Amino acid sequence: MRPTYRRTMYACFTGYIVQAIVNNFVPLLFVTFQTTYQIPLSRITVLITANFILQLLVDLLSAKVIDRVGYRAAVMAAHVCAAAGLILLTVLPELLPDPFVGILLAVAVYAVGGGLIEVLVSPIIEACPTDNKEKAMSLLHSFYCWGHVGVVLLSTAFFWSVGLEHWKLLALLWAAVPIGNVFLFSRAPIYSLQEEGGAGLSLRSLFSMKLFWLFLLMMTCAGASEQAVSQWASAFAEQGLGVSKTVGDLMGPMAFALLMGTSRLIYGKYGERLNLDRFMTGSCLLCIASYFMIALVPVPMFGLLGCAVCGFSVGILWPGTFSKASAAIRGGGTAMFALLALAGDLGCSGGPTLVGVISSAVQGDLRSGILAAVGFPLLLLVLVMLSKPRRI
């Protein structure tokens, strides 16, 4: 890697940390929002849905805008939105008559930033003149996991030492991360895939391929399988398992993220020696088992263990589907990866939304919601089997 592009790489890695902050900080406060602002579980669910639906819409609509303004301006604007949303989270709930509306507006602002970051960071990394782009891309995806771990660990340490009632101060501290990365991107060299001849198949060509639709459905199930547990892990640990918030956050969402990152690092380092189809099949089976462990075993420690195991099991599902699509559809290009990310975001919204809706219908029992969501890894298992090369 040329030394001049290290700053670009570091900025992209930090960009995925920002993505982890906007996706995983607010879920740590769901129970706090319920008790402080008297927001019911059904409305808390809307926060998750709005975050990922807005990111999905940004994925869909941003391509033409990015081409007009350029990658640098777009990625800097994305970080400004992420920071602004976190800052607004500390003021809007008290300024508006309905605190929920204030929280929802703040979530909407940082969701725009999160969606843009997801669209921009991967192609920026891909366009960098690195010696091993696959290794760089694998490392990039793992930084979301390490960012997730950092968000949970540092937030838990803050709540324990300073007090949960001072969560607004922590939101401002997290906002400093995207603000700092704006300045890093402002001075980093940036190329686009188009400049490297990275244009691929047209949208019409992609949508005419049955195999492409199969991979879109796989990405939807992968996103849903991951976020159905991840987004509710903190609230589930506090309410469903009856453990303290500190124990719940450390053993639930942080263990989930740590093992998810470990899974991605294992495949990134030893991927050439591993059979991807077998790895994904085993991961789907492990994911199904973890869902049943969370939902059906009434022992708190087994529920927390299930959250951690689920993190390891879903680690390969998202990047693995990208790899399978890239190998099966030659020349898919940027459009293919953008649409796959769009499908993944649809799953990231649908999975936790289903958990919230089902849980609300049965008096807030999150176990029932998670049990209903086991259909996502079950369907993904079938799709992985259908996508094996010999069956295509």
pLDDT of residue 196: 46
Q: List pLDDT tens digits, range 136-173.
A: 666 787 888 889 889 988 998 999 899 989 999 999 99
Residue 204: how many other CB atoms lie within 10 Å: 7
pLDDT of residue 391: 47
Closest CA to 86 of 26, 30, 8: 26
pLDDT of residue 135: 62
Q: List pLDDT tens digits, range 243-284.
A: 676 776 677 777 888 899 888 888 777 766 778 889 899 999
- Quickly list DSSP for 191-208: --TGGGT-----HHHHHT
**CATH code for residues 199-385:** 1.20.1250.20
In the chain, which stretches have pLDDT less than 70? Answer: 1-4, 63-64, 67, 130-138, 192-201, 238-243, 245, 248-249, 271-272, 331-334, 389-392
Q: Could you name the CATH architecture of 1-197? A: Up-down Bundle (1.20)
Residues of the chain with CATH 1.20.1250.20: 1-197, 199-385
pLDDT of residue 236: 72
Cβ-Cβ contacts under 8 Å for 68 (sequence gap 6 or more): none
